[in-house]
Amino acid sequence: MLHGKRILLIVAGGIAAFKSLDLIRRLRERGASVRCVLTEAGAKFVTPLSLQALTEDRVYSDMFSLTDESEMGHIQLSRDADLLVVAPATANLLARMAGGLADDLAATVLLATDKPVLAAPAMNVRMWTHAATVANVETLKKRGVTFVGPNDGAMACNEFGPGRMSEPLEIVAAIEAMLVRDRPLAGRRALVTSGPTREALDPVRFISNHSSGKQGHAIAAALAELGADVTLVSGPVAVPDPTGVKVVRVESADQMLAASLEAGALDIAVCAAAVADWKAARPATGKIKKQAGAPPPALELAPNPDILATLSKAGPRRPALVVGFAAETENVVANAVDKRTRKGCDWIVANDVSPATGTFGGERNTVHLITEAGVEDWPPLGKGDVAMRLAGRIALHLAQAGKKQAAE
Ligand code: C5P
C-alpha cells in the first residue's frame, strides 16, 4: 500500500535502531523504497552493511565524503524522498533539529528538507520527560514535524515508562496515514476485541488464559491504517495501545460485552479476544480463606455471554461483517467451519494454538480463513502481516458488497 513511495530513513544512535531494520523490511513489503542516512552514533548500533542489504541501496553517513557528495548531495537526498522518517529519534538528534544545527549529514538533510518529517523518539524515560526535550519536541511540532510514540514500556536501561520507540508496524501506520490518500475503510466503523478476559473468583484471584492480545491489537492497527474508525475493547494485556485507535480497557467478559455493545453502530466487528467461557457463579466479596484441614473450596462456574454470537445475532444492529476467531488444538478447519455456522458470524479466522506452534504470545501465526466461499489456507505470517492481509480482505469485501448493493 506504499507502492512507489520513497522513504528517507534517518537512523540515529539508540538501542532501538535494531527495530529500524524490521521497519525497512515492512516498508519494502508494502512497495516503498527506502534509502538510509546513518549517524555516527547510529553506526554503533546497526551496521551500514545490514541497512544496505535490507534497502538494496547504499547507505549515506558522511557529509564530507567526495563520493557521497558527488553521487548524491544532501539536497538531492531530500529531493528524492516523499517523506523523511527519523527512527530512532534520539534526544540528541531532536535537540539538534530543534536548534537548527547542521553538524552532520542527518542534521543537514533535516535542516535542508522541505518534505514532511516523521520522528519516532526513543530514549530513557528521564531524557524524554526532561524539560529540554519537552521544549524541543514542542518546537518541532510547531514547525510541522509529526511524532509517533514513544510508547510506555520496559526499556533496555531496565527502567519503565515512556521512551520506547513505537513498534515498526505503528511507524508504518503513521507513514501510511501521512502518505496514503487512498484509505479504503475511511468512513467505516470497526470494533475489535482483543486479549484475554479475567474472571474474578474473589478480590485477589481470577481465571484467565494465555492470550497476549498481539493478534487482536495488530488487527485494530491495520484497520485504522486503512482508514477505519476503530474501537478496540481489550482485556488485560502488556502490548502497547495501537496508534489512532480508541482503546477501552475491560477485565471480565461481561464488561467486554457491555463495552462492545456501547461501541454503537458498526460496519465491522472482529472478535479476536480469548474470552473466558466461564466465570465464577458467585465470586466472593472477600478473599477466600484457607482453613486448616478443610477440603479445598469447590468452584462453581457459570457460562459467560458469547460476544461474537451476540453481535452476529444483533438483528438490525448487526455489523455488515462479523469475523470470529477459532483457536483450536485439533481438527482446526472442521471445528472452525462448524463454529462459523453455530455462532452466526460471516468469517472465521482459524488457528492452531497447540503449544508446539508457539502461537499464543508468539510473533507468528498460521491461519485459515473460512468464509461463505470456502476455506483459504494462508502461509505462516507475522501477526502484523496476518492483520494487514485480513484488513485488506475486509476492505475488499465491503467495497464489493457496496458495488453489488448499488447494482441491485
Ligand atoms: O467458542 P469459542 O471460544 O471457541 O469461539 C471463539 C470465538 O468466539 C472468538 O472469535 C472469540 O472472540 C469469540 N467469543 C466471544 N465470547 C465468548 C467466547 C468466544 O466473543 N464468550
Does residue 287 form part of some domain?
no
In this prediction, residue 65 has a pLDDT band, given cuts at 50, 70 and 90, of low
Q: Which of 69-78, 199-208, 344-353 is least confident?
A: 69-78
Q: How far apart are CA 148 and CA 143, in angstroms?
A: 16
163 and 223 share one domain: no
- Catalytic residue set: 157
3-state SS of 366-397 is: CEEEEECCEEEECCCEEHHHHHHHHHHHHHHH
Is the pLDDT reported for residue 178 higher than 90? no
Burial class (CB in 10 A: 0-12, 13-18, 19+), 143: exposed
Q: How far apart are CA 276 and CA 131, in angstroms?
A: 45
Rounded CA Rg of the chain: 24
Tell me what pLDDT residue 392 has.
86
Domain termination site, one of 151, 179, 207: 179
* Number of domains within the chain: 2
- Tracing cell 488464559 back to the chain, one arrives at 209
Residue 145's domain comprises 6-179
User: Is residue 11 classed as helix, strand or coil in its secondary structure?
Assistant: strand
State the CATH number of the domain containing residue 13: 3.40.50.1950
Give the atom of ligand 1 at the shortest distance from the alpha carbon of 273. Answer: 12
Does residue 286 form part of some domain?
no
Task: Give yes or no for a contact between 151 and 242, defined as CB atoms under 8 angstroms apart.
Answer: no
Provide DSSP, 31-46.
Answer: T-EEEEEE-TTGGGTS
Tell me what pLDDT residue 69 has.
57
Q: Which amino acid is at 172?
A: V
Task: Report how far ligand 1's centroid is from the alpha carbon of 305 (Å).
Answer: 9
Task: Report how far ligand 1's centroid is from the alpha carbon of 121 (Å).
Answer: 37
309 and 377 share one domain: yes
Does residue 293 form part of some domain?
no
Does residue 121 form part of some domain?
yes
- Tracing cell 503449544 back to the chain, one arrives at 355
Task: Report how far ligand 1's centroid is from the alpha carbon of 376 (Å).
Answer: 20
Tell me what pLDDT residue 73 has.
77
User: Is residue 311 classed as helix, strand or coil in its secondary structure?
Assistant: helix
Give the atom of ligand 1 at the shortest distance from the alpha carbon of 349. Answer: 10
pLDDT tens, residue by residue, 305-319? 999 999 999 999 999
Nearest CA to ligand 1 atom 5: 326
329 and 348 share one domain: yes
212 or 406: which leads in pLDDT:
212
Least Cα distance to 194 among 244, 269, 301 occurs for: 269
Tell me what pLDDT residue 408 has.
76
Q: Which residues contact 64 (CB under 8 A, 6 or more apart)?
A: none
Q: Which of 197, 198, 237, 325 to mutate to test the pocket of ligand 1 (most atoms within 8 A of CB)?
A: 325
In this prediction, residue 373 has a pLDDT band, given cuts at 50, 70 and 90, of confident
Does residue 170 form part of some domain?
yes
What are the b/e assignments for 55-65, b being 16+ CB within 10 Å? beeebbbebee
Task: Give yes or no for a contact between 301 and 282, defined as CB atoms under 8 angstroms apart.
Answer: no
Q: How far apart are CA 44 and CA 41, in angstroms?
A: 5
196 and 161 share one domain: no
Helix 17-29 and helix 48-55: axis angle, to 10°? 10
Task: Report how far ligand 1's centroid is from the alpha carbon of 34 (Å).
Answer: 41
258 or 385: which leads in pLDDT:
258
Tell me what pLDDT residue 68 has.
57
Is the pLDDT reported for residue 66 higher than 60? no
19 and 47 share one domain: yes
Q: Which of 308, 331, 333 to mutate to test the pocket of ligand 1 (most atoms within 8 A of CB)?
A: 308
Domain termination site, one of 149, 179, 209: 179
214 and 81 share one domain: no
Q: How far is residue 278 from each of residues 134, 156, 256, 285, 301, measured CA to CA in Å?
A: 47, 39, 14, 18, 6
Tell me what pLDDT residue 403 has.
66
Q: Which of 30-39, 82-91, 128-137, 150-159 is least confident?
A: 150-159
Q: How far is residue 358 from each of residues 12, 34, 234, measured CA to CA in Å?
A: 33, 32, 21
Q: How far apart are CA 390 and CA 383, in angstroms?
A: 10
130 and 22 share one domain: yes
State the CATH number of the domain containing residue 348: 3.40.50.10300
Q: Which residues contact 132 (CB under 8 A, 6 or more apart)?
A: 91, 95
How many other CB atoms are there within 10 angstroms of residue 317's CB atom? 11
Give the atom of ligand 1 at the shortest distance from the alpha carbon of 305. Answer: 21
In this prediction, residue 71 has a pLDDT band, given cuts at 50, 70 and 90, of low
Is the pLDDT reported for residue 70 higher than 60? no
Q: Which residues contact 396 (CB under 8 A, 6 or more apart)?
A: 184
Tell me what pLDDT residue 194 has.
98
Does residue 285 form part of some domain?
no
pLDDT tens, residue by residue, 196-251? 999 999 999 999 999 999 999 999 999 998 999 999 999 999 999 998 899 999 99
Give the helix/strand (H/E) hosting 248: strand 246-249
175 and 264 share one domain: no
Give the atom of ligand 1 at the shortest distance from the alpha carbon of 276. Answer: 21
Domain termination site, one of 131, 158, 179: 179
Q: How far apart are CA 378 and CA 352, in angstroms?
A: 12
pLDDT tens, residue by residue, 21-53? 999 999 999 999 999 999 999 999 999 999 999
Task: Report how far ligand 1's centroid is from the alpha carbon of 276 (Å).
Answer: 8
Is the pLDDT reported for residue 144 higher than 90? no
259 and 367 share one domain: yes
Q: Which of 271, 331, 337, 338 to mutate to test the pocket of ligand 1 (most atoms within 8 A of CB)?
A: 271
Q: Which residues contact 267 (CB under 8 A, 6 or more apart)?
A: 188, 189, 190, 228, 319, 320, 321, 398
283 or 183: which leads in pLDDT:
283
Which residues approach ligand 1 with their CB closer than 6 A? 193, 253, 271-273, 275, 304, 306-308, 324-326, 339
Burial class (CB in 10 A: 0-12, 13-18, 19+), 266: buried
pLDDT tens, residue by residue, 74-109? 788 999 999 999 999 999 999 999 999 999 999 999
Tell me what pLDDT residue 80 has.
92
Does residue 229 form part of some domain?
yes
Task: Report how far ligand 1's centroid is from the alpha carbon of 198 (Å).
Answer: 14
Does residue 392 form part of some domain?
yes
Is the pLDDT reported for residue 404 higher than 80? no
- Express as a percent the part of the chain with pLDDT over 70: 97
134 and 12 share one domain: yes
Tell me what pLDDT residue 67 has.
59
26 and 120 share one domain: yes
Give the atom of ligand 1 at the shortest distance from the alpha carbon of 343. Answer: 8
Q: Which residues contact 246 (CB under 8 A, 6 or more apart)?
A: 229, 230, 231, 232
85 and 11 share one domain: yes
Nearest CA to ligand 1 atom 4: 326
